[in-house]
Structure 1
């Protein structure tokens, strides 16, 4: 993992994170399983360090938020849409919700390879190759890569 920038680390610390943080993820595992998502080892690892955090970051002329409460995020979305539309567009059946960004408008999910994507209705984008890189990308307002809809 590339190191997080000092500004991103500062935002994470304000949200309650610290290096070596480890939480029990049973709540997320149960909620996601009930919603029909696969529990992936890479998701377990990521949520054990960042689960439950709500991060506020500067964005353009104000601030915005994202969070890693996977149970809350999964409860507000149709699993069929993620597992069929998004998964089909990405060529994988292994996607798991990890949180939400931009005022809870963008669903965040991770593949079994650790890549992080965002989705909102027909919009699907690649955010980063790992959870940590996704945190950095969101905090630093880096552009995402659009993934086209199926024809």
Structure 2
């Protein structure tokens, strides 16, 4: 695993993250279970380290960019597990919603194998093969891989 760049660490820290962060996510777990999601072993580690923070930072074009890992904010009372079955078929593995990217315009998902995806409408993008690659791509404005 490639370490996070200094710029990505700076963005994460400015938003409230710190190395070794391990918060209580029982409310998030209960929420996802109530929506009939099955949590993966690595989902607990990822959410306890990175969730409950809205990451905001400057885009080179001058606007404020943001993403968050707050599943309840991403799903609210509107979305149900069935709403995302097509996305699971497209990536060929189970997913759990973990937040939103691109200023709230894409729902972010974590896959059973640790990949991070973003979806809006029918457009689906893989942000990274793991959380660290996804954080780098999100914070440094790197285009992910479009999934057909």
TM-score, structure 2 as length reference: 0.93
Question: Deviations along 1:48-86, whole A, 9 cap, x unmatched?
Answer: 11011111122241221100111221225342121x110
1:68-147 mapped onto 2 (5 Å cutoff): 68-75=69-76, 76-82=78-84, 84-92=85-93, 94-147=94-147
What is residue 11 of structure 1 aligned with on the other side? Answer: 11
Q: Is this contact kept in 2: 1:27–1:71, CA < 8 A?
A: no
When the two chains are superposed, the root-mean-square deviation of aligned CA atoms in Å is 1.2
Q: In structure 2, what is the Cα distance between the partners aligned to 1:2 and 1:112?
A: 20
- Equivalent residue pairs, number: 146
**Which ranges of structure 1 fall in alignment gaps of 5 or more residues?**
none
What is residue 59 of structure 1 aligned with on the other side? Answer: 59
Asked whether 1:44 is paired with 2:47, we answer: no
Q: CA deviation at 1:37?
A: 1.6
**Which ranges of structure 2 fall in alignment gaps of 5 or more residues?**
none
Q: In structure 2, what is the Cα distance between the partners aligned to 1:107 and 1:60?
A: 23
Relative to structure 2, which stretch is displaced further, 35-44 or 114-123?
Answer: 35-44
Question: Deviations along 1:61-115, whole A, 9 cap, x unmatched?
Answer: 1221100111221225342121x110011112x2011110112110000111100
Q: Secondary structure at the match of 2:124?
A: strand
